[in-house]
């Protein structure tokens, strides 16, 4: 199952992407779309990722961290932390 993104959220994401230089904007919604075909509601074990569509559950935090932190968009940011 995939969460339906509200039009306001999609529009805000596009506005932020247009305002922030590409080297400084990590498009989390775009990453999830590329990796999972949208925003999953459950992980592979059937655990809910967000009970209220705002906050992540522990399973949700693990899922999103695993999904986004290995995306190439994060490499510059992660490199800063390793200095």
In this predicted model, what pLDDT tens digit does every residue of 33-81 receive, in sequence order? 888 999 999 999 999 999 998 899 999 999 999 888 887 777 777 788 7
Q: Residue 71 class from Cβ within 10 Å (0-12 exposed, 13-18 middle, 19+ buried)?
A: middle
Question: Which pLDDT does position 63 carry in this prediction?
Answer: 94
Q: For residue 59, what pLDDT is reported? A: 97
More confident residue, 82 or 57: 57
What is the Cα–Cα distance from 66 to 8, expressed in whole angstroms? 26
Q: What pLDDT is stored for residue 5 in this prediction?
A: 87
Q: How confident is the model at residue 82 (pLDDT cuts 50, 70, 90)?
A: confident
Best CA proximity match to 72, nearest among 33, 38, 31: 31
C-alpha to C-alpha distance for 79 and 59, rounded to whole angstroms: 26
């Amino acid at each position: 199952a995939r969460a339906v993104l509200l039009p306001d959220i999609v529009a805000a994401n596009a506005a932020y992407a247009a305002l922030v230089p590409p080297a400084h904007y990590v498009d989390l919604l775009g990453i999830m779309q590329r990796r999972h075909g949208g925003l999953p509601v459950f992980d592979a074990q059937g655990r809910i990722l967000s009970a209220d569509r705002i906050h992540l559950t522990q399973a949700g935090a693990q899922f999103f961290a695993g999904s986004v932190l290995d995306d190439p968009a994060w490499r510059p940011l992660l490199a800063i932390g390793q200095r």
